[in-house]
């Protein structure tokens, strides 16, 4: 392979690490929101 190729940058963040952390944070927020909605609307039968 050609060693002179630069690593491609992600489209939104300056590094891939920041992009992966943003995606992980987004998923954690979604999981928390789904948990909160489940707890708020879990009516006993």
Specify if 3 maps to a domain.
Answer: no
Specify if 9 maps to a domain.
Answer: no
Name the more confident of 13 and 5: 13
Total domain count for the chain?
A: 1
pTM of the model: 0.71
- Domain span holding position 35: 14-45
Q: What is the pLDDT of residue 3?
A: 57
Specify if 31 maps to a domain.
Answer: yes
Per-residue pLDDT of 6-43, as tens digits, reads 778 888 889 999 999 999 999 999 999 999 999 999 87
Specify if 24 maps to a domain.
Answer: yes
The DSSP line for the chain is --TTPPPPPPSSSSSHHHHHHHHHHHHHHHHHHHHHHHHHT----
Specify if 2 maps to a domain.
Answer: no
Specify if 40 maps to a domain.
Answer: yes
Specify if 18 maps to a domain.
Answer: yes
Could you tell me how far CA 26 lies from the centroid of its own chain?
4
Specify if 35 maps to a domain.
Answer: yes
Residue 2: is its pLDDT beyond 80?
no
């Amino acid at each position: 392979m050609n060693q002179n190729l630069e690593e491609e940058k992600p489209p939104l963040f300056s590094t891939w690490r920041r992009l992966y952390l943003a995606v992980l944070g987004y998923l954690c927020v979604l999981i928390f929101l789904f948990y909160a909605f489940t707890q708020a609307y879990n009516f006993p039968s």
